Structure 1
Amino acid sequence: MDDMYLEVYEKLTRLQWSLHKQQMFAHAEYGPFADTSRGQGRVLAILKIKPEISTKDLAYLLGIRQQSLNELLNKLEKKEYIERIPCEDDKRILLIHLTEKGENAQQTDVDYSEMFACLSEEELRTFENYLDRIIESIESKIGDDDHDEMKMWMENARERIGPEDFDRLMRMRHGGSGPFGFRGSFYEDRRHDFYEREYHDLD
């Protein structure tokens, strides 16, 4: 039994590496903005919905630390796709502003569905359910220290950003794409994630 666990773990590690290579190929072919599920492409996709947003809100929407966000913003700012400006009401707050060059940047969603063509829709749905169970099991052991902080941020951000844009951005964060970064109707009815549980409590 122990050998089976190790074998499955090694296959998941191999899958992770294969997905990473797939993303690198997409980056090489379509550029850094093609993948709207990660990196610079994801930042740009969010800013196309909300052209001006605070660094704190952006970090939460991306689900990354401020340091990691700054690395992405530095690259985008250097290429003049964004600019950072102090908030007029509170100079301590930095706002990310999408420039005209950023607005005109072309983004093409990379279609990753081909890699799952070997599975039927039923098999893919079952596979996703298995992944959900594994993820939930791991996260329950790791813990979620950011839960209360995240809920408080959501309550305030919904008012700052506006209900409609906030809804779109949160769906992008949690449910707008599949777990491997591709979009499709198969994932549109998934309603069991953190966003669905917490966001609708605000209504």
Structure 2
Amino acid sequence: MDEKEMELYEKLSRLQWLIQRSRLKDHVKNGPVGDPTRGQGRVLAMLRIQPEISSKDLAYLLGIRQQSLNELLNKLEKKGYVTRVPSETDRRVMLVRLTEQGKQAQDQNSETDDAGIFDCLSPGEQDQFNAYLDRMIAAFEEKCGDSMNDGTREWMRGACERMGKEQFERLMNMRMGGRSFGNHFGPFGGFGRPGDPEDE
């Protein structure tokens, strides 16, 4: 890595650290549901896009185990933010629903400290920055290879049919680190990865 690349890497690392610091401030200020990129806040952010979803689909989209999701859902249920009910078409499938109280909690916490993170860039600069990030992400994805197996592809086809193409794409964009809800980085703090531990 030459000096210029090292400087870029250090700046990206600094930006990541500042974003995480901002998230921590939101967590301290608003509690576990205040950060739409982690734990309970992340579940509520997903449910805001898709107010009713199977727990299996939600676990996949969040990139966590079903057991970890159940812990988060138990906490959210106790607060009255979500309900779980068996599907009418298949009683083995548990549906998670966002309650009115959950919508209100999500609305109260929708303005985070980093809401204006891109205000320092003009719309044109934001477009350029977005294009640069797309190129970097594509290069890393090519370098890392395709880790999807046939089971994952089959699940994705089924989930797309159940949710509708537009909703599914928004949720997948959020899962993969896109900005699907306000001015927030994706569910992994911008630079995290699916499967990172959830601690809320």
| TM-score (ref. length: structure 1) | 0.67
Partner of 2:72: 72
Q: Is the 8 A contact 1:59 1:66 kept in 2?
A: yes
Partner of 2:110: 109
Structure with greater proportional helix content:
1
1:123–1:148 distance in 2 versus 1, CA, 3 Å: farther
Q: Is the 8 A contact 1:48 1:103 kept in 2?
A: yes
The amino acid across from 2:110 in the alignment is D
Q: Is the 8 A contact 1:33 1:42 kept in 2?
A: yes
Q: Is the 8 A contact 1:35 1:110 kept in 2?
A: no
1:156–1:123 distance in 2 versus 1, CA, 3 Å: same
Mapped partners of 2:78, 2:49: distance in 1: 21
Q: Which of 132, 135, 138 is residue 137 of structure 2 equivalent to?
A: 135
Mapped partners of 1:67, 1:38: distance in 2: 16
The amino acid across from 1:160 in the alignment is R
Mapped partners of 1:146, 1:61: distance in 2: 14
The amino acid across from 1:59 in the alignment is A
**How far 1:11 sits from its partner (Å)?**
1.9
**How far 1:79 sits from its partner (Å)?**
2.6
Partner of 1:25: 25
**How far 1:150 sits from its partner (Å)?**
4.1
**How far 1:113 sits from its partner (Å)?**
4.8
Q: Is the 8 A contact 1:81 1:102 kept in 2?
A: yes
Q: Is the 8 A contact 1:40 1:72 kept in 2?
A: yes
**How far 1:20 sits from its partner (Å)?**
0.6
**How far 1:19 sits from its partner (Å)?**
0.2
Mapped partners of 2:96, 2:116: distance in 1: 35
For 2:140, what is the secondary structure of its paired residue? helix
**How far 1:5 sits from its partner (Å)?**
2.5
**How far 1:15 sits from its partner (Å)?**
1.0
Mapped partners of 1:169, 1:155: distance in 2: 10
Provide the alpha-carbon RMSD of the alignment. Answer: 3.3
Q: How many pairs are equivalent?
A: 180
> C-alpha deviations, 1:105-146, integer Å up to 9, x for none?
352422635333332222222222111111111122222222
Q: Is the 8 A contact 2:45 2:106 kept in 1?
A: no
| Segment of structure 1 superposing worse, 2-11 or 88-97 | 88-97
Q: Which of 138, 152, 155 is residue 154 of structure 2 equivalent to?
A: 152
Mapped partners of 1:15, 1:68: distance in 2: 29
Q: Could you list the runs of 5+ residues in structure 1 that have no partner in the other structure? A: 185-203
Partner of 1:124: 126
| TM-score (ref. length: structure 2) | 0.68
Q: Could you list the runs of 5+ residues in structure 2 that have no partner in the other structure? A: 184-200
Q: Is the 8 A contact 1:26 1:35 kept in 2?
A: yes
Greater RCO, CA 8 A, separation 6+: 2
